[in-house]
Amino acid sequence: ENVYNMDKTGVMLSILGSVKVLVGRDNRWNYRGAGVKRAMVTAVKCLSADGRALLPLII
């Protein structure tokens, strides 16, 4: 019941003015541009053996 599996992935957070876009590591070059701020973040997802999922966590 309380056994969870955790998976994490690194993604690029691009900030285009007031728009925020999560971009996979392999696609980050498609979102290059002048004045774009970028930061690498980690997304964590937890799933239990009975199919329940915790809310994703962005670090």
**Model pTM score:** 0.51
Q: Strand, helix or coil at 6? A: strand
Tens digit of each residue's pLDDT (9 = 90 or more) over 27-58: 656 655 545 667 788 889 999 988 888 898 88
Report the Cα 53 to chain-centroid distance in Å.
16
21 or 4, which is more confident: 4
**pLDDT of amino acid 3:** 86
How many of the other CB atoms lie within 10 Å of CB of 14? 19
For residue 11, the model assigns a pLDDT of 79
**Does residue 13 carry a pLDDT above 60?**
yes
